[in-house]
Amino acid sequence: MNINALRQKIASERQKAQAIHDKAVAEGNRDLTAEERTAYTAHIASAMQANEDLTAALALMELDRNAAGVQVSGPGAVQVGHNNAEDKPWESLAEFMAAVRNEKVNAHTADVRIKAALGGNELVDAEGGILVPAEFAPDIIRRTFAADPVASRCRQQPMSSNRLVMNGATDASRADGQRNGGIASFWTREANLYTGSKPKFREMALQVDKLTVLTYATDEQLEDGPAWKAYVDAVVPDEFGFRVGDAIFNNPGNGSGPIGVAKSPAMLAIAKETGQTAATIVTKNVEKMYARMPSYLRAAAAFFINQDTEDQLWELTRGSGTAVELLYTPPGMRGNNNSYGVLLGLPVIPIEYAQTVGTQGDITLANFNEYMLGKRGGVKADTSIHVAFLTGEQAFRWQMRVAGQPLWDKPVTPKNGTNLQSPFIQLQTRS
């Protein structure tokens, strides 16, 4: 009896025993009849025997797995006539995932392409993950960061280790001698002496964390290559992208995942207007947010909103009478041929992880080029044959390693002015 059949038998016998017990409880918590007790004992014994058989089968599987590493020597040594791994022969992602499954079930018969470590990459990590082949991983990564409107706007930094330490500026002001960590510049004439400066920097460390996505596949799905590939292409990058984007916005940065801008000291919160109605957005709100975005960063900035705020954006105007100016232009109207609406000349991008209307974070003005998003390595995949066996399913685990934090550690004061500026601006709660 194979492993799945043993598991099914254990579950079936347990359910039968449980049904006898539950029936007696439901009927006034009575004692089992002699006939019921005999059947109950038989089911328990059968389940225990199947469990012993399962333990032995798993032990044998482990022996098979260990035997896969034994080298053959002498006259019977195996010679490789052609290394299939050199051909990049995976016809589809589904074929690769089926091979991953087989490697877990029968290690000694694993596909040579799974065992080959190509390009100097680590094939199997400490947790047993198998690196997704080069012909598939870049597409998953590309879709991940292209699918999310926040992650795709970040400054992306490849990483070769789990921690990257950089110098970050400590600017508190844009005044002369304080910009870019204190770098100074001077107008001089020929033969005049230069005045030196000593910039100050802070240590900025990117620490990667693993982001894991679990998907489930039946044997039938794995056999249907195009359907499985379409499913993976859709759901894995989408889930990776959503979680990364949500973390960039909202993660508290407590040692797990990227540091979110909402919790960063670089976030600048604009106060509501005096007497402003709860859960509203008014013209002065967005004008003040716009005024606090540094002029040299506006070109790549955008408004990120909770979709429920859109109807309020339609009502934002300036002027009166016949000189009323509409501040918001929806896509497809008044010459706006872009896929996003436009507010004060900047894109308006609805995101699911913006906060609810009236709460700080329901509308954010940000330039995410001032956010460093680190990525280490490719995508790793692993599978477990122990999950959801009763329904004929397997769990596939996908992992990527990501780090991130704002490049700014505080808002700054402009050279001539007192109002703080930042690339990350939100409207305070209006309750």
pLDDT of residue 128: 41
pLDDT of residue 118: 30
Judge if pTM exceeds 0.75: no
Strand pairing of 268-270 and 328-329?
Answer: unpaired
Determine the Cα–Cα distance for residues 4 and 54; give it in Å rounded to an integer: 9
pLDDT of residue 380: 74
Which whole-number Å values give the CA distances from 240 to 144, 151, 360, in the listed order? 6, 10, 25
Q: Which residues of 3-42 are buried (b: 16+ CB within 10 A; e: fewer)?
A: beebbbbbeebbebbeebeeebeeeeeeeeeeeeeebbee
pLDDT of residue 9: 81
Note down pLDDT in tens along the chain; length 431 residues: 666 677 778 778 888 888 898 888 888 888 889 898 889 888 888 878 877 777 777 667 666 555 544 444 545 444 545 454 445 556 666 666 667 666 655 555 556 555 543 332 333 343 344 555 555 555 566 666 666 899 989 999 888 888 888 766 667 776 766 676 666 676 766 555 555 566 666 778 888 999 988 877 777 776 766 677 677 777 888 888 899 999 999 998 777 889 999 999 999 999 999 999 999 999 999 999 999 999 999 999 999 999 999 999 999 999 888 889 999 999 999 999 999 999 999 999 999 999 999 999 999 999 999 999 998 877 776 666 555 555 566 777 788 899 999 999 899 999 889 899 999 999 999 98
pLDDT of residue 178: 65
Task: Encode 236-276 in three state secondary structure.
Answer: HHHHHHHHHHHHHHHCCCCCCCCCCHHHCCCCEEECCCCCC
pLDDT of residue 355: 97
